[in-house]
Amino acid sequence: MARHLVTGGAGFIGSHIVDALVARGDSVVVLDDLSTGKLANLEQSRSRIELIEADLRDLGAVRAACRGVNCVFHHAAIASVPRSIEDPVASNGVNASGTLNLLVAAREAGVRRVVYAASSSAYGDATRMPVSEDTRAAPLSPYAVSKHVGELYCQVFWQLYRLETVVLRYFNVFGPRQDPASEYAAVIPKFITALQRGQSPVIFGDGEQTRDFVYVANVVAANLLAGDAPAAPGQVVNIAGGARASLNELVAAMQRVIGVATPPVYTSPRPGDIVHSFADISRAGDVLGYRVAVPLDQGLALTAEWFRACLR
């Protein structure tokens, strides 16, 4: 039985990966400090996993978590642009230094492969769309810098030590278990919960900024593929939905899904936010065999249903 480690496994994306690994019969270790992750996210798999409650900055705990592990799915991070602007030291400590700890521990333990959850924020305000992996990195926030540093460490550990690393640059992931309550919450859970409560969703800026939204099930599939694909080591790969929508279009789509017409309200743009984002996902298809199985509208309907159940 293969044994895998999911860092940040009690979080939004990580917990879905845990469920998928458990469902296929793998042994799973979760490392999470539960600062943003929730035990409730692991409820359906809790009896079948090993949970280590620890911080990535604790190298001893990370070493213990890596023992006997075949593949690491590295999702632990402080995943917030606004929070990184307020406290860049903490973001760097977890996202950059914590990733270095993970790679050191994985190499020492003889881990076969590390799949790293990177961020499309590395591209900054790229001018050519769709953006390919060959586009020069131009991060606009401490968060983006710290996540990009993690990528560079992954590539160096592959080049120097032959530790197999795969970098997946996520675009705007959404789906069940995203937390709408945090002031740093992603846009879709915030919009959905506002509309379901009869409140106006808040848009920072004019709403014409575009994003490439990808439903979480697609991201889980990409991780499982990246864990085994022969051509994946050393690669940086975009993971996205393969289409773009403005925030205004997104609100309109959610109004249709939920069956309400509550208009949005607009406020000042946030510092550090990019204007446009749209991924070229051809490399993901070529290297991983990745395909978008759940398109945006279907993903929004599934997500809205999950949040509707939570609000009952």
Which amino acids are annotated catalytic? Answer: 143
Q: What is the DSSP letter of 48?
A: G
CB neighbour list of residue 141: distance below 8 Å, 6 or more residues apart: 81, 84, 85, 121, 272
- The CB density around residue 264, as the number of other CB atoms within 10 Å, is 19
Q: What is the DSSP letter of 287?
A: I
CB 48 within 8 A of CB 6: no
Per DSSP, the three-state class of 71 is strand
The sign one gets for the Cα dihedral 133, 292, 188, 265 is positive
Q: What is the DSSP letter of 136?
A: P
C-alpha–C-alpha distance, residues 212 and 130, integer Å: 10
The residue behind tokens 């937390």 is 179
Return the amino acid letter for 286. D
C-alpha–C-alpha distance, residues 171 and 160, integer Å: 28
Return the amino acid letter for 287. V
Q: How far is CA 234 from CA 168, 172, 226, in A?
A: 11, 23, 11
C-alpha–C-alpha distance, residues 114 and 102, integer Å: 9
Q: Is 198 left (phi over 0), alpha (psi -120 to 50) or beta?
A: left
